[in-house]
Amino acid sequence: MSNEVANPTRRRVLVGASLVVGGVGGVSALTPFVASWNPSAKARAAGAPVKADISKLEPGGQVIVAWRGKPVWIVRRSAEALANLAVLDANLADPDSAKSKQPKYVPGNAARALRDEVVVMIGLCTHLGCSPTYRPEVVPTDFDANWQGGFYCPCHGSTFDLSGRVYKGKPAPTNLEIPPHFYESDTIILIGEDGGNA
């Protein structure tokens, strides 16, 4: 039998080293498990905000970008088109966008926009999700003799003004949806984030 006295310092070092190695091993084992909770790159991209450059968008012009698999329309309206919006209220189902889906920081007025001349909308009819066509010309059409410009859904005949407000008596139950967005600069719109406006 040995008469050696146990070295307490050595014991503490060995216990400490064992705890450190065990802790590192535990973290290494958990890392892939916790990482599996994060969304995939494809899922992140599907919901990621998108930027739209409107620097070359002329009055009457339209830019289309994709966000979350949906077309987002950005339309620059002329002064004449904006003036026409104010006189359409009597013909619209929801002129103040009280029942329509849009961020609270976007005014419910005729323009429905952060900047009156540029409107941002999801380009899907609120009836069955068809994509209406952009018809900005103020000319009589086969579907409306008093057409003031806007969007026409050929699937079931819903019509929307240049702010995406639906006309009365049409299949679409609400105005076109306005996504969260904000101006990152004078010419760049970030769609999918509110920029602290909410």
Which residues are part of the catalytic machinery?
Answer: 156
d(CA 155, CA 157): 6
Rounded Cα–Cα distance for residues 137 and 135 (Å): 6
Q: Could you tell me how many residues make up the chain?
A: 198
Q: Compute, in degrees rounded to 10, the torsion defined by CA atoms 48, 133, 110, 173.
A: -80
Which tokens is 191 given? 């769609």
Cβ neighbourhood burial of 190 (10 Å; 0-12, 13-18, 19+): middle
